[in-house]
A and B are shown apart, each in its own frame.
Chain A
Amino acid sequence: MTEFTLPIAPRRRARPLAMRSVYLIAPAALFLLFFFVLPLADNAMRSFVDEATGAFTLARYAALLTDPFYLRIMGETVLLSAGVTVISLIIGYPVAYFLVRKAGRWSALVIFLLIAPLLTSIIMRTFGWQVLFARKGLVNNLLVNQLGLLEQPLRLTNSVEITIAALVHVLVPLMVLSITSVLQGIDRRLEESAQILGANRLRTFWEVTLPLSLDGIGTGAILVFMIANGSFVTLVLLGGGLQTLPLMIYQQFNTTRDFGMASAMSMILLVIAIACLWLQLRIVRRRGA
């Protein structure tokens, strides 16, 4: 950059300028160092150190990765996130397609409606679901008292289904926006070429549109998966007996007060998140090449 701003200046002078630009990110870098990197490092250390003896240990990780109880929790966490991801994709893709191809001048409104749930506080949103589906909530009231379809109110809160619905509700916009940005970049003439060559609409979608939007699907899926994996408030309030890693970490910190174990668990959660990011970067880089 400095070579462009000072084309006539000798190369030697470019160095101090480059150094100076480092100062611009210094405040942010320092902030992150003290409030993010160091605590994280501290956390990692804690997970490897035996509290009683102060010696290095892998016992916690051994337990986490072999004990069926912990494995089941990790499995449940990943399964829940995967389910939320798949449902978000199934709901989100048609919305993204509509947004790009059909909405026209209404697209701004559709995007607003999409993002609106993200603008409300997560606590409010989650309580909203509770109000809606409580024993004497709106839905049960409608089913039992208004329509008389049921004798007994349904037990809807504290269920896996409601938890998934609430997570999908928040995460679908991320899926839609990821897919939208990729769909917008697809040249309509590619689809028209396929049609002229004898592909009907469904075939055109299957052969051209869908493969070309895989990037957006990948990005959206990884984003949704990562956030669902780390979601906490929704699970605490609507949980339905689900036991996931974030809940377990909370429990270890506040109830069991086994800080070492909590640290080890959060490291595993972090590793899953980093693996997802790595996967996404790989996908994008492969496509870009």
Chain B
Amino acid sequence: MISTTAHNGVDAPRPARAGPASDLVLSGVSKSYGSSVAVRHLDLSIEAGHLVALLGPSGCGKTTTLRIVAGFETPDTGEVRIGGVDVIDLPPHRRSLGMVFQNYSLFPHRTVAENIGFGLRMAGVGRAERDARIQSMLDLIKLEGRGDTYPSQLSGGQQQRVALARSLVVNPKVLLLDEPLGALDRSLRESMQFEIRAMQQRLGITTLLVTHDQEEALSMADRVAVMNAGRILQVGAPSEIYDRPQTRFVAEFLGTSNILEGRASSDGRALVVPAAAGGEIVVPLGEPRTPGEALTISVRPERIALGTERQPSVVNIEGRVTGAIFRGTYAAYQVEAPGLGRELFVYRQADGPLGSVAFRLGESVVLSWTPQDVVVVASE
């Protein structure tokens, strides 16, 4: 991440009316359309100056939640507080928000400078101050001298930056980002992730990011809220969400997970997974559980070591390679464990020669991991 101290006050244009950042609190927010429930009694709070990503599959209610904050939708129940003030009764234009849409939504009939200055003009900011603030924004987004061009003459990334500048120039209390990078190329997306995050931190603006892209959420957010079927399943720091998923849905939605189901052993220190032909596979757990309890566990593919020999004092499962894919920085393997009746995924750093995979199809291998790599998740 780009250092914030290096830029503060040196070349960063200072917002002219920057007040203290506001926090955003949603409590008990529900919204239904007819018989379909979009958002179920949702609680979410964003500390002032933080970026929270609302992450979930399409149709999970994340966009509805964002539109409720924006004021385009009215919730059936609940409160939306910005800086402690309930804004439910305020129309969108009086909520002092900034918003960036997936397709940028720049006004096609206005120049870049007019687009950026739109909010200032609506707020009645005088021409001289307006021009100065537009200029500093153009500098900030590295589009100096392009103020007189029209949005259609800019590249996707440039349009995205103009959209960001347009929403930030008015010093909004909260910035809303609706799939902001969805329309960009993969390579551009990564650099924009850095850029938006750097700008958000530099300005210290409270931000709600809505995305279905887990990588975007993990890399940009202070905290990630995973949402499904109108509910927030888990909120936490990106690493916490990734390493300690509380539910099966979270484990599977973020990255890939190997999910195993079974019962706790009689001493509660292992998971017993029923295997074919009456056998069983015993997986030691990091923390003891109630004996006999039905359990679901998740093991991340990159936590599993792949070798040809059993490792001492860890979990060892023997299997056969049924799939091997080279993915640049790592190789992905599918390994069938006899008796388990299913395949496990393993990621292995690509340390061999370029374009190679270390294990061949059909090769017998041993999968090993430590009990600390096992996460017990709720089965839902």
User: Which A residues fall within an 8 A CB radius of B?
Assistant: 187, 189-190, 192-200, 203-204, 207-208, 211-212
Closest Cβ–Cβ distance, residue B103 to chain A (whole Å):
7
List chain A residues, Cβ under 8 A from B91: 195, 200
Which B101-136 residues have a C-beta within 8 angstroms of A?
101, 103, 105-109, 118-119, 122-123
**Given the complex of chains A and B, what is the CA–CA distance between A189 and B178 in angstroms?**
11
Q: Is B99 engaged at the interface, CB distance under 8 Å to the other chain?
A: yes
Q: Is B170 engaged at the interface, CB distance under 8 Å to the other chain?
A: yes
Q: Are A198 and B119 in contact, CB atoms less than 8 angstroms apart?
A: yes
Q: Is B167 engaged at the interface, CB distance under 8 Å to the other chain?
A: yes
Partner of A195, one of B92, B101, B176: B92
**Given the complex of chains A and B, what is the CA–CA distance between A234 and B52 in angstroms?**
66
Q: Are B118 and A197 in contact, CB atoms less than 8 angstroms apart?
A: yes
Partner of A192, one of B105, B123, B170: B105
Closest Cβ–Cβ distance, residue B113 to chain A (whole Å):
14
Closest Cβ–Cβ distance, residue B8 to chain A (whole Å):
26
List chain A residues, Cβ under 8 A from B94: 198
Given contacts A196-B167, A198-B170, A208-B107, are A203 and B101 in contact (CB under 8 A)? no
Known: A193-B166, A207-B118. 7 other contacts (CB 8 A): A187-B103, A190-B105, A193-B99, A198-B96, A198-B122, A204-B93, A207-B107
Measured CB to CB, the nearest residue on chain B to A195 is B92
Q: Are A197 and B166 in contact, CB atoms less than 8 angstroms apart?
A: yes
Instruction: Categorize the interface residue count of chain B.
Output: 20 to 34
Measured CB to CB, the nearest residue on chain B to A186 is B108
Give chain A's interface secondary structure class. Answer: helix
Measured CB to CB, the nearest residue on chain A to B178 is A189
Given contacts A198-B170, A203-B122, are A212 and B109 in contact (CB under 8 A)? yes
Q: Are A199 and B93 in contact, CB atoms less than 8 angstroms apart?
A: yes
Q: Are B108 and A212 in contact, CB atoms less than 8 angstroms apart?
A: yes
Q: Is B98 engaged at the interface, CB distance under 8 Å to the other chain?
A: yes
Measured CB to CB, the nearest residue on chain B to A203 is B122
Partner of B119, one of A187, A190, A197, A211: A197
Given contacts A196-B99, A196-B167, A197-B119, are A190 and B107 in contact (CB under 8 A)? yes
Given contacts A187-B103, A189-B101, A212-B108, are A194 and B118 in contact (CB under 8 A)? yes
Q: Are A196 and B70 in contact, CB atoms less than 8 angstroms apart?
A: yes
Q: Is B97 engaged at the interface, CB distance under 8 Å to the other chain?
A: yes
- Some 13 contacts from A to B, beta carbons below 8 A apart, are A189-B103, A190-B107, A190-B108, A192-B72, A192-B99, A193-B106, A193-B107, A195-B93, A196-B70, A203-B93, A203-B122, A207-B107, A208-B107
List chain A residues, Cβ under 8 A from B99: 192-193, 196
